[in-house]
Every structure is written in C-alpha cells, then in structure tokens.
Structure 1
C-alpha cells in the first residue's frame, strides 16, 4: 500500500517539476549562510571556493543542482 493518499501524492509530484534555475548569487549566499554553521570551517571554505564558478544544471521546487 502507498504511504500517502493519492491527493498527497499528486501534490508531491509538483515538487519534482523541472524549473528554471534561480539566481546563482542568491544560491551561493544561501550556501554560505549554511556553511557558516559547519564544524569544519576549513572544509566549508574550500567547498564554497569550489562553487564560485559553478553553473546550475537542474532546478526543482526543493533545490538546485550545480556542476
């Protein structure tokens, strides 16, 4: 049996939509805010540096993927 009703499943399907990417500067700001909470700040800084030239390759309601 399904874990959710068909009505809930229909709503969740909308979260899988292929959307246009949102602003990369805004995305990096969000990532920077989250990384500020990381225990390993050296690794967080290295990760943020690696994302500076990243381009979005996919976007959906729940997030955006960078390469």
Structure 2
C-alpha cells in the first residue's frame, strides 16, 4: 500500500484494500506477450467513505515475468 494516508477526494482517513471482480471470478493480469502464462490477481486501495480508488496493483508481479 502506498504512503497515502487520506483520500484526495473527500479527506477520509479510512482506506481499505479490495479485489476487482468480473462476474463470478477475480480479474487477473497476464503478460501481454503470453496471455496463457501465469497470472496475478489485481487489488485496489479505495476510500471507505466515497469509494474513490487511490491505486490498483497486481499482487504477484514476479508471476508476470517473460
């Protein structure tokens, strides 16, 4: 998680981590040149008050090596 301590949109200090889902499964990131290789889930940090997404990142970047 970044060093951000409050929401830049509303100023709330309660930030949460969540996963991005599509229908019934978690969205995954794949390497562009090999979409059938290993993948990693995508997580986000969001404001509990207004829902603003501060950042999104892949949980296991080492899995996306070429």
Q: TM-score, normalised by structure 2?
A: 0.31
Pick the structure with greater CA Rg: 1
Higher helix share: 1
Q: Relative CO higher for 1 or 2, CA cutoff 8 Å, sep ≥ 6?
A: 1
User: By percentage of residues, which structure has more strand?
Assistant: 2
